[in-house]
Chains A and B, each alone.
Chain A
Amino acid sequence: MKRVFPILAILTAVLLSYAMYQGLVVAPTEKTMGDVQRIFYYHVPSAWTAFLLFAINFVASVIYLFRRNPKLDAVALVSAEVGVVFCTVVLVTGPLWARPVWGIWWTWDIRLTSTLVLWLIYVSYLMLRRFSTSGQTPVLAAALAIFGALDVPLVYFSIWYFRTQHPQPVIGGGGSIDPRMLHVLLINWLAFMCFAALVFWSRYRAEMLQREVEEMQSLEALLEPRGAL
Chain B
Amino acid sequence: MSFVSSITAATLAKDIRLEWRSKDAINSMLFFALLVVVVFSFSFDPIAEESRQIAGGLIWVAFLFAAVVALNQTWARELRNQVLDAYRVSPAPANSLFLAKALGNFLFVAILEALMTPLFIVFYKLRALGPAWQLIPIAALGTWALVVNGTFFAAMSLRTRAREIMLPLLLFPISLPSILAMVRATTAILTGEESAKFWIVLLVAYDLVFTTGCLLLFETVLQAE
Q: Which chain A residues have a beta carbon within 8 Å of chain B's beta carbons?
A: 65, 117, 120-121, 123-124, 127-128, 131-134, 136-137, 139-140, 143-144, 146-148, 150-151, 154-155, 157-159, 161-162, 165
Q: In whole angstroms, what is the CA distance A26 to B209 when docked? A: 48
Q: Using known A-B contacts A134-B224, A140-B224, A150-B210, determine if residue A157 contacts B176 with beta carbons closer than 8 Å.
A: no
Are the CB atoms of B159 and A155 closer together than 8 Å? no
Are the CB atoms of A128 and B170 closer together than 8 Å? yes
Interface residues of B in 53-89 (CB under 8 A from A): none
For A159, what are the chain B residues with a Cβ–Cβ distance below 8 Å?
Answer: 177, 180
Are the CB atoms of A139 and B220 closer together than 8 Å? yes
B161 in the interface (beta carbon within 8 A): yes
Q: Using known A-B contacts A132-B159, A132-B160, A134-B159, determine if residue A154 contacts B173 with beta carbons closer than 8 Å.
A: no
For B157, what are the chain A residues with a Cβ–Cβ distance below 8 Å?
Answer: 128
Q: How far is the CB of B5 from chain A (nearest CB, A)?
A: 25
Q: How far is the CB of B87 from chain A (nearest CB, A)?
A: 16
Are the CB atoms of B156 and A155 closer together than 8 Å? no
Are the CB atoms of A139 and B224 closer together than 8 Å? yes
Q: Which chain B residues have a beta carbon within 8 Å of chain A's beta carbons?
A: 149, 152, 156-157, 159-162, 166, 169-170, 172-174, 176-178, 180-181, 184, 194, 198-199, 202, 205-206, 209-210, 213, 217, 220-221, 224-225
For A140, what are the chain B residues with a Cβ–Cβ distance below 8 Å?
Answer: 156, 159, 221, 224
Please list 19 pairs of residues, one from A and one from B, whose beta carbons are closer than 8 Å in the complex, sorted by A's number: A65-B220, A117-B176, A120-B173, A127-B169, A127-B170, A128-B156, A128-B157, A128-B170, A131-B162, A133-B159, A133-B160, A140-B159, A140-B221, A143-B217, A143-B220, A147-B152, A154-B177, A154-B178, A158-B181
Minimum CB distance partner of A149 in chain B? B213
Q: Using known A-B contacts A132-B160, A139-B224, A140-B224, determine if residue A120 contacts B176 with beta carbons closer than 8 Å.
A: yes
Q: In whole angstroms, what is the CA distance A133 to B225 when docked? A: 10
Q: How far is the CB of B90 from chain A (nearest CB, A)?
A: 19
For A139, what are the chain B residues with a Cβ–Cβ distance below 8 Å?
Answer: 220-221, 224
